[in-house]
Amino acid sequence: MKKIHVWLVAILMAAGLGLIAPGPASAASYCGLVWGSLAKSNATMSSASVTTVRTGQHYCFDRMVVDLNGKVAGYTVQYVPAVVQDGSGLPVALRGGAFLQVTVNAHNETYNPANRNELANVTGYQTFRQVASAGGFEGYTSFGLGVRARLPFQVFALDGPGTGSRLIIDVAHFW
């Protein structure tokens, strides 16, 4: 009986000192990001056209920016088994373990980059592996974004500079 009391006192003391405590209910998200990996879209059409595509690195994510010469209206960004060219449906070869198809609903698909396979140099990026053009067809301009793995991402539009706007795609480095 005395042994039971000794063990009970030891357990109560350990719990009181915080040595025995329940673990957290859930792990904290990476950098506080609460993004998911499901498709994000807005079906509105735009009369703007794509002018440039650029990328950047941030502490918690890599960023792709699609610049337009007018208001960003519609877009679809989603993970796909393979990025395909608009119109033909032919696959776009991309480096990476997962692929985002980025489609901008822009009536004027006049974007014609110098190198369709390498729109931006992403060497040394933590998440991005390649950014390529997937062409334009019937009011849509598409891009392929090869990433390290299927990771959470967010999509949003920003006004400016001037009368232009930007479609932003951020892909987290980790879950």
Average pLDDT, the chain: 86
Tell me the C-alpha distance between 60 and 172, whole Å: 6
* Percentage of the chain modeled with pLDDT above 90: 60
Tell me the average pLDDT across 18-25: 45
What confidence score (pLDDT) does residue 19 get?
45
What confidence score (pLDDT) does residue 21 get?
45
- For the chain, domains (ranges, CATH) are 31-172 (2.60.40.3500)
Give the predicted TM-score (pTM) of the model.
0.81
Tell me the C-alpha distance between 141 and 134, whole Å: 7
Tell me the average pLDDT across 67-88: 91
What confidence score (pLDDT) does residue 20 get?
45
CB distance 167 to 50 below 8 Å? no
Tell me the C-alpha distance between 11 and 22, whole Å: 14
Beta strands 128-137; 153-159: pairing state: unpaired
At residue 94 the predicted structure's pLDDT band, cuts being 50, 70 and 90, is very high
Which H or E run contains 18? none
Tell me the pLDDT tens digit for each residue of 107-145. Answer: 666 788 889 999 999 999 999 999 999 998 888 899 999
